[in-house]
Amino acid sequence: MKCNYCDEIFNDDDSVMSHFYHLGKNHYDVLTDEDRIIYDIRKKMIESKSKYESQKQTDGDSDLIFNSRNSEV
């Protein structure tokens, strides 16, 4: 995927996350309202996911639970 704000291209397996971190680092000040909302939602999900995983590290189903939650958003 290509960055909407510059010519950077993300082709790695985790391109969505790479792009997410790239946006936050390089373009957060110029994001459109819509992109900023998406960024903030994703950031919040990542934070709650890492919080959840650190609490439930022995639970192997944490990723599945997280994914089913995401699909409802």
> Interface with Zn ion includes 8 (CB under 5 A)?
yes
Shortest spacing between CB 73 and Zn ion, in angstroms? 24
Residue recorded with tokens 């790695």: 12
Handedness of CA 65, 46, 13, 73 (dihedral sign): positive
- For residues 43 and 25, what is the distance between their CA atoms, to the nearest angstrom? 13
Q: Which of 1, 6, 9, 17 binds Zn ion (CB under 5 A)?
A: 6
> Interface with Zn ion includes 3 (CB under 5 A)?
yes
Size of the site for Zn ion (CB under 5 A): 4
Confirm if 61 and 52 have CB atoms less than 8 A apart: no
Name the residue number minimizing CB distance to Zn ion: 3
Site residues (CB under 5 A) for Zn ion?
3, 5-6, 8
